[in-house]
């Protein structure tokens, strides 16, 4: 089963987060409490340009809310990686397991004078090929 991919790429400006990890933690805390709309609003709070794309925000909220019906309840939320590009950009990946299957969540933040600002957030279930490739590379190293 393929889940709809959702992402918002945003312009910079607005309020920023002092610590991107705290923003991700807050997102998952709200999301796990079934406060999906609040979770999405929370993760995009550091970027004032979100208000200029309300249809995309509504779409991501709808898609994220529909996951329960498609994949069941959340079992575990686990950080997979924290990839930094110098000191200015970070790509954070999480794996969330549900009753039926895992879903990958990815968050991108960039640094501004005031702290960190969300650049994008996405989720998808297209992780099987990525995991196969990583496993094969690891096997070749042994």
pLDDT of residue 130: 86
Answer for the pair 38, 138: CB distance below 8 angstroms, yes or no.
no
pLDDT in tens, 18-59: 689 999 999 999 999 999 999 999 998 888 777 667 788 889
Q: What is the distance between the alpha carbons of residues 111 and 59, in angstroms, rounded to a whole number?
A: 26
Choice between 16 and 25, residue whose per-residue pLDDT is larger: 25
Q: Is 13 helix (H, G, I), strand (E, B) or coil?
A: coil
Q: Report the chain's mean pLDDT, rounded to a whole number.
A: 85
Strands 89-98 and 74-85, how do they pair? antiparallel
pTM, to two decimals: 0.83
Q: Round to the nearest angstrom and report the end-to-end CA distance of the chain.
A: 33
Q: What is the pLDDT of residues 89-142, one digit of tens each?
A: 999 999 999 999 999 999 999 998 888 999 999 999 998 888 888 899 889 987
Neighbours of 78 (CB within 10 A): 10
Asked if residues 98 and 74 have their Cβ atoms less than 8 Å apart, the reply is yes
């Amino acid at each position: 089963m393929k889940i709809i991919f959702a992402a918002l790429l945003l312009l910079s400006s607005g309020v920023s987060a002092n610590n991107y990890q705290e923003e991700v933690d807050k997102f998952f805390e709200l999301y796990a409490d079934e406060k999906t709309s609040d979770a999405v609003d929370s993760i995009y709070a550091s970027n004032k340009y979100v208000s200029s794309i309300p249809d995309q925000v509504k779409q991501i909220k709808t898609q994220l809310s529909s996951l329960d019906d498609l994949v069941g309840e959340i079992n575990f939320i686990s950080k997979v990686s924290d990839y930094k590009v110098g000191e200015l950009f970070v790509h954070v990946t999480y794996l969330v397991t549900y009753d039926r299957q895992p879903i990958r969540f990815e968050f991108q933040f960039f640094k501004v004078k005031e702290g960190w600002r969300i650049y994008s957030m996405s989720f998808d279930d297209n992780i099987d090929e990525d995991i196969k490739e990583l496993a094969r590379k690891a096997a070749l190293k042994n």
